[in-house]
Amino acid sequence: MTSDKKNADRKTIAQFFTLLGEGRIPEWLALIHDDISVETPLAAKGSPTVFKGIDEIKTRFGDARQDMASLVFLDVDIQPMVADGRWVVTCRSEGSFDGGVRYKNTYCWLFGMEDGRIKSWVEFFDPQETIAVAEALAAQE
């Protein structure tokens, strides 16, 4: 992988986190390949763990972000893997929902890039944090 391509891919991945955090979903979706494939293997039992295509990504991740009052990704560390176009990212997040429920999590993401856009990702996160937020949101209803 050339240095220019590596820098461009790193910048795209950094923008992914910035735009998602800021809730700028149309711009965020522009970074993602139409044939995207996403896996969330640690999702709650009974929840979908595989998402295909830009429409499913917008519905699952874009709409979820719009439900939040704030979100920021912190300590984002983007590292290339040996295979061209493959990246590993670690970070954490902090945010809140309307009504004051706080959200935080830690992550490890595996990204695949193609033609300057994100073609795939696998998202590992702390399921205990996700469960705690779901319970707090349910208690508000």
Q: Are 78 and 13 in contact (CB under 8 A)?
A: yes
- The model's pTM is 0.93
Predicted pLDDT at 84: 85
Predicted pLDDT at 1: 64
The CA distance from 98 to 60, in Å, is 18
Predicted pLDDT at 18: 98
- pLDDT for 61-92, tens place per residue? 999 899 899 999 999 999 999 888 999 999 99
The CA distance from 98 to 85, in Å, is 37
- pLDDT for 4-50, tens place per residue? 989 999 999 999 999 999 999 999 999 999 999 999 999 988 889 99
Domains assigned to the chain: 3-140 (3.10.450.50)
